[in-house]
């Protein structure tokens, strides 16, 4: 899974916010990042949500993280709600870090 956003200062700040959220395994809540697609000129939104564990879950299990992708102004855009594994989270963190290492405007 790759996250590609325009290389602007606002995008860099948004990616840093996502990175900080995903790297903190006990940060309950959500982080939302929105940018304009360079091809369609439509807004795209990615949201990460970390929730409390179910009461019957083992206390050392990681808190569940769900990623959702949406395009608010595109009618009939499919609902993309993706539960993430720890492996998925590690891959996204790695991808964001490599993206942030590139040259930014």
Residue 4 lies in a domain: no
Domain extent for 81: 9-100
Q: What is the pTM of this model?
A: 0.85
Does residue 3 lie within any of the structural domains?
no
Reference 4, options 72, 77, 69, 82; nearest CA is 69
Give the C-alpha separation, 90 to 102, whole Å. 19
Q: How many domains does the chain have?
A: 1
pLDDT tens track of the chain, all 105 residues?
566 777 877 888 999 999 999 999 888 999 999 988 777 788 889 999 999 888 887 777 888 999 999 888 888 888 889 999 999 999 999 999 988 888 776
Taking a C-beta distance cutoff of 8 angstroms, is the pair 86, 62 a contact?
yes
CB 71 within 8 A of CB 81: no
């Amino acid at each position: 899974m790759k996250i590609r956003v325009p290389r602007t200062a606002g995008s860099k700040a948004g990616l840093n916010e996502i990175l900080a959220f995903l790297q903190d395994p006990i940060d309950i809540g959500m982080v939302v990042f929105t940018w304009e697609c360079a091809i369609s000129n439509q807004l795209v939104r990615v949201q990460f949500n970390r929730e409390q564990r179910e009461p019957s879950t083992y206390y050392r299990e990681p808190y569940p993280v769900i990623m959702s992708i949406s395009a608010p102004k595109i009618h009939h855009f499919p609902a993309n709600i993706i539960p993430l594994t720890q492996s998925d989270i590690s891959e996204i963190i790695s991808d964001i870090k490599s993206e942030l290492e590139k040259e930014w405007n």
